[in-house]
Amino acid sequence: MKKVLISVSNKEGLLEFAKGLVDLGYEIISTGGTAAYLSRENILVTQVSTITGFPEILDGRVKTLHPKIHGGILARRTEEHLATLAEHSIPTIDLVVVNLYPFGETIKKPHVSFEDAIENIDIGGPTLIRAAAKNHRYTGVVVSPEAYPEILGQLKDQGELTADFKRKLALEAFRHTSNYDAVISAYLAGVWEEKGFPREFNLHGELVGELRYGENPHQRAAWYQAAGNLADSGFKQIQGPELSFNNLVDVQAAQQLVREFAEPAAAVIKHTNPCGTAIGENLTAAYLKAYQADSLSAYGGIVALNREVDVETAAEMIGTFYEAIIAPGYSREALKIFATKARLRVLSTAFKNEAKQYDIKRVLNGFLLQEQDLDSDVGQAWQWVLGQKSSLKDLIFAWKVVKHVKSNAIVIAKNGETLGVGAGQMNRVGAAEIALKQAGEKAKGAVLASDAFFPFRDTVDLAAQYGVKVIIQPGGSVRDGETITACKEHGINLVFTGKRHFKH
b/e 27-64 (16+ beta carbons within 10 angstroms → b):
bbbbbeebbebbeeeebebebbbebbeeebeeeeeebb
Residue 26 CA to residue 160 CA, distance in Å, equals 12
CA nearest to 294, candidates 309, 281, 282, 277:
277
Task: Name the catalytic one among 2, 11, 168, 271.
Answer: 271
Q: Which of 2, 11, 134, 437 is catalytic?
A: 134
d(CA 323, CA 317): 12
Please return the burial class of 468, using the count of CB atoms within 10 Å of its CB with bins 0-12, 13-18 and 19+.
buried
Question: Which residues are paired to 269 by β-bridges?
Answer: 274, 302
Contacts of 461 (CB under 8 A, 6+ apart): 486, 490
Residues 6+ apart with CB under 8 A from 207: 222, 223, 224
Q: Is 134 a catalytic residue?
A: yes
Positive/negative CA dihedral, 299, 305, 308, 312: negative
Assess whether 271 carries a catalytic annotation: yes
DSSP conformation class of 353:
P
Do the beta carbons of residue 409 and residue 459 sit within 8 Å?
no
CB contact set of 372 (below 8 Å; sequence gap of 6+): 357, 358, 359
Q: Pairing relation of β-strands 410-413 and 366-371?
A: unpaired
Burial class (CB in 10 A: 0-12, 13-18, 19+), 79: exposed
Phi and psi for 341 in degrees, rounded to 5? -115, 90
Sign of CA dihedral 103, 104, 109, 112: positive
Helix (H, G, I), strand (E, B) or coil at 100: coil
* Cβ-based neighbour number of residue 327 at 10 Å: 24
Question: Mind telling me the catalytic residues?
Answer: 134, 271
